[in-house]
A and B are shown apart, each in its own frame.
Chain A
Amino acid sequence: MRFACIVFPGSNCDVDMYHAIRDELGEEVEYVWHTETNLDSYDGILLPGGFSYGDYLRCGAIARFSNVMEAVKKAAQEGKPVLGVCNGFQVLLEAGLLPGAMRRNTNLKFICRPVTLIVENNETMFTTGYDPKQEITIPVAHGEGNYYCDEETLKKLEANKQIVFKYKNNPNGSIIDIAGITNEQGNVLGMMPHPERAVDELLGSKDGLLLFKSILRNWREAHVLTS
């Protein structure tokens, strides 16, 4: 499986993402600069964390107009897995690939520590490796991770099982403890916690690796075993 790790000016978790895929998952991955316009040769798209365009104006607001985002939208429409972590999640929200918006953390602090997540939906292409309601440890590192959406959107998210991860102890004030959501089709996942920083016991947890393994296994089942 061939992954694109999109790099915006200001991305700083791109190396972690690259490491997770190449060294821990053992798959192909390439850094793709934000000016690129074609992602057709990749099977999966990764939007890493960081501070794209310095988070000027709002997190992710400027990155969404990068050339590469049109190609990301196309990949999403084609059903390819698209994973946005932290700032990558914020970019997906600003780009309208996922519903809702991010606010400052309720306590106004930048939070950087491992948190416990509950796997709310283990039937997505990102989470089949987890058990239902499994509790996993994944680090967060953000100042604006307080997810918000209106009542109507929230009802849709719940009805379509788009809420994939919830915080066990909500660190940032997110509405109904949401830590990660997918689009309606289920192939675009945005999450504030960093699975790429939890891929080896040395890092304190390898619970994040199962997410990448799930993507790989589901992709293989769809593309390799059937062809």
Chain B
Amino acid sequence: MYKVKVYITLRESVLDPQGSAVQSSLHALTYNEVQEVRIGKYMELTLAKNEKDVELRVKEMCEKLLANTVIEDYRYEIEEVVPS
């Protein structure tokens, strides 16, 4: 089994209205040291063990569906899990 952690974030060049709103809110709470907030998505996928190509397939999933590469970047971590 594999556990895959996928992180989707808006590209640096793309304005993040949610992040800006949270940043203002943190400032309102006097956390003025916060210079920027970016909000993204975190997904956990559990994959049945599928010999090879795990990385290739995860990359495909990200490109095809999980991220919209026009505005989003993605990265992932693949971890092999031994079921107990």
Interface residues of A (CB under 8 A from B): 57-58, 61-62, 65, 93-94, 99-101, 103-108, 146, 148-150, 173
Q: Are B66 and A57 in contact (CB under 8 A)?
A: yes
Interface membership of B29, Cβ < 8 A: no
Q: Are B66 and A148 in contact (CB under 8 A)?
A: no
Q: List residues of chain A with CB within 8 A of the CB of B15.
A: 103, 106, 173
Known: A57-B65, A108-B21, A173-B15. 6 other contacts (CB 8 A): A65-B65, A99-B70, A101-B68, A103-B14, A103-B17, A107-B17
Q: How far is the CB of B69 from chain A (nearest CB, A)?
A: 9
Q: Looking at the complex, which one of A58, A62, A65, A104 makes contact with B68 (CB distance below 8 Å)? A: A58
Q: List residues of chain A with CB within 8 A of the CB of B17.
A: 103-108, 146, 173
Q: Are A101 and B70 in contact (CB under 8 A)?
A: yes
Q: How far is the CA of A105 from the CA of B15 in the complex (A)?
A: 11
Q: How far is the CB of B40 from chain A (nearest CB, A)?
A: 12
A-B contact count (CB 8 A): 37
Closest to B64 in A: A65
Closest to A99 in B: B70
Q: Are B66 and A101 in contact (CB under 8 A)?
A: no
List 27 A–B pairs whose Cβ atoms lie within 8 Å, in order of A's numbering: A57-B65, A57-B66, A58-B68, A65-B65, A93-B70, A94-B68, A99-B70, A100-B70, A101-B68, A101-B71, A103-B10, A103-B14, A103-B15, A103-B71, A104-B17, A104-B18, A107-B17, A108-B17, A108-B18, A146-B17, A148-B14, A148-B70, A149-B70, A150-B13, A150-B70, A173-B15, A173-B17
Closest to B21 in A: A108
Q: How far is the CA of A104 from the CA of B13 in the complex (A)?
A: 15
Cβ contacts B67-83/A at 8 Å (1 or 0 each): 01011000000000000
Q: How far is the CB of B25 from chain A (nearest CB, A)?
A: 12
Interface residues of B (CB under 8 A from A): 10, 13-15, 17-18, 21, 65-66, 68, 70-71
Given contacts A104-B18, A105-B17, A61 and B65 within 8 Å (CB-CB): yes
Q: How far is the CA of A137 from the CA of B15 in the complex (A)?
A: 28
Q: How far is the CB of B39 from chain A (nearest CB, A)?
A: 10
Q: List residues of chain B with CB within 8 A of the CB of A61.
A: 65, 68
Q: List residues of chain A with CB within 8 A of the CB of B70.
A: 93, 99-101, 148-150
Q: How far is the CA of A106 from the CA of B17 in the complex (A)?
A: 5
Q: How far is the CB of A103 from chain B (nearest CB, A)?
A: 6
Q: Are A148 and B21 in contact (CB under 8 A)?
A: no
Closest to A109 in B: B17
Q: How far is the CA of A218 from the CA of B71 in the complex (A)?
A: 35
